[in-house]
Amino acid sequence: MSYLVMARKWRPKNFEEMVGQEHIAKTLRNAIESKRIAHAYLFTGTRGVGKTTSARILAKALNCKNGPTPTPCEKCENCVAVNQGGSMDVLEIDGASNNGVDSIRDLREQVKYAPMQGTYKIYIIDEVHMLSKAAFNALLKTLEEPPPHVVFIFATTEVGKVPHTILSRVQRFDFRRISEASIRERLEFICGKEGVAPQVEALEAIARKADGSMRDALSLFDRVVAFTGKELTLDATRKVLGIPEDRLYGDLLKNLMSHDTAGCFSTLEEVYHQGLEVSEFLAGFGEYLRDALFSRQQGITPAMLGMGEARFRDLRTLALDLQDGDLLRFAKITSELLSGLKTAPHPRLWIELGLARMAALDRVVTLSQLLGQEAPTPHTVHAQPTSVAVPAPEIKKKSPEPVLTPVKSDEADGLETDHLQRQTPREEASGIKIDELTSRWPELVESYAEQKPLTSGTLRQSRLVIRDEDENLTVEVVFSAPAHCELFLADKDGKRDLKNFLTGKLESDVRFALAFSADEKKSESPEFFPESETLDDIIRREPIVKTLLDLFDGRVVHGPR
């Protein structure tokens, strides 16, 4: 008897053996038990996940002599015929080679006839998305109302190409990609049956290479066993399947971390010397960066990443010297290199330039580290020949915090109230006496304007009056117009800030009340700018006028408001 490959020998024969598709197996079993058998099914998913195998198991369950039953006996002539592919009632059709409308017309004629041995006549159409538009349209009526003894089972890897008119007439089942852990467990089971002693790391490498496909995993396993015999080792697996060693990925990452461009080129040379596919190496390095990124995160376990404890510890140790941003940038450039490799006129030069670009990147530094508010992580102490030193920013000393002291003040309405006055620490004594405030008022206004430029403009239209009545000292700000007074008093903090400013300018602490009033005599027909003033006088008194003239290309208009 000729040799039967692993993919066929260990193909699942019942719903219990369907690996990674337990949700579909349970649904189909329950449907058969409750006699809720649909007239059409659609199995969709990537390659090698069990679509056609599940269709055969379903056909066997429906036509078993003991059925329909979710547990076919595997012994009756109908079960044996389905397993051997010779059942007259189960017809498998290749949608790629029978995609014309004539093939569908022939199928419509055949469905009229009753099954020969089983309960149902079952049509399994593989790669159904390959049917032409005319063929799909010819199938619609039969698919919607087939004879009671007919069941259609469609399988496809590209469900997006199946018309919605077909999708609405079938029960759809989405097959998942099989996890690496499930593939590894299945391979361990097969090794026990075949008498093969495997290394766990070798099975992990095969499962990772299979990329979610059980059929691919069994084919790869078959190749490795043919080379190694009964001892399945990691080195032999890598040699047969062309899988680069993790050491190469680790060396490349360390060279990138240390900005060692020559070391990166040396690693790439070793890849070529070993005869490895450079695209395979780049794809593996991308997965290595992904594993390194996730191994850094809290709560991630080796089982979640589908790897062993030793590899997980090595990745975590290596990744501790990196930031997430470093790994993400390396992974992005690696993905760009891999996608551009197919069209690059000089593939090796394309990869070397990409590695040099990654090696030249400065390491990621957080903003708090840059400002000196956080201790640098270990990765910041490595030499960075291509980076430019960033000087530490100058940290200005904070001004002393204001002190809350109780004082008395007279507000504009004349009411005397006790409140907590917010005082800033006194500046150095300027030598201004209380009776000098009146003469030096214009000078003080310009000094105050540096601190409060928005509300100090109205003070330029005022004068100062000092009154001493019954040993109560009052400093009164008299505005030239009521509008100026109202505008200044509209700032709720303006009165307090002005008093603090004046208190800080006096020679010694003096208690006084601050009042505000308007000169009623000048309130009639006020002018923005008197006729006697020149433009230079106006700009000197109101610097903002110069800014407005330059900004809007304007001119000064004299006259009443």
Tell me the average pLDDT across 8-25: 91
Give 111-136 pLDDT, tens digit per residue: 888 888 888 999 999 999 999 999 99
pLDDT tops 70 at residue 559: no
Q: Which of 140-154, 158-172, 288-302 has the lowest mean pLDDT?
A: 288-302
Q: Give the span between the Cα atoms of 450 and 145, in whole angstroms.
A: 88
- Pair type for strands 416-423 and 462-469: unpaired
Tell me the average pLDDT across 479-488: 76
pLDDT tops 90 at residue 173: yes
Concatenating the DSSP letter of every residue in 477-516 gives EEESSHHHHHHHHTSTTHHHHHHHHHHHHBSS----EEEE
For residue 431, what pLDDT is reported?
A: 56
Distances (CA, A) of 221 to 187, 234, 305: 8, 12, 21
Q: With contact defined as beta carbons under 8 Å apart, do 416 and 493 qualify?
A: no
Torsion of CA 60, 64, 69, 74, to 10 degrees: -70
Alpha-carbon Rg for the chain, nearest whole angstrom, is 43
Give 76-108 pLDDT, tens digit per residue: 999 999 988 888 899 999 888 888 888 888 888
Q: Which of 59-68, 112-121, 148-157, 429-438 has the lowest mean pLDDT?
A: 429-438
Between residues 471 and 158, the one the model is more confident about: 158
Distance from chain centroid for Cα 343: 28
For residue 427, what pLDDT is reported?
A: 42
∠ at Cα 234 (232, 238), nearest 5°? Answer: 110
Percent over 70 (pLDDT), the chain: 78
- Would you place residue 144 in the very low, low, confident or very high pLDDT band (cuts 50, 70, 90)? confident
Tell me the average pLDDT across 28-35: 93
The mean pLDDT of the chain is 80
Question: What are the phi and psi torsion angles at 34 (to 5°)?
Answer: -90, 10
Give 357-399 pLDDT, tens digit per residue: 999 888 776 665 555 545 544 443 333 333 333 444 444 444 4
Q: Which of 208-212, 417-421, 489-493 has the lowest mean pLDDT?
A: 417-421
Residue of 111, 95, 122 whose CA lies nearest to 38? 122
State the CB neighbour count (10 A cutoff) for residue 40: 20
Between residues 560 and 432, the one the model is more confident about: 432
Q: Give the span between the Cα atoms of 184 and 3, in whole angstroms.
A: 24
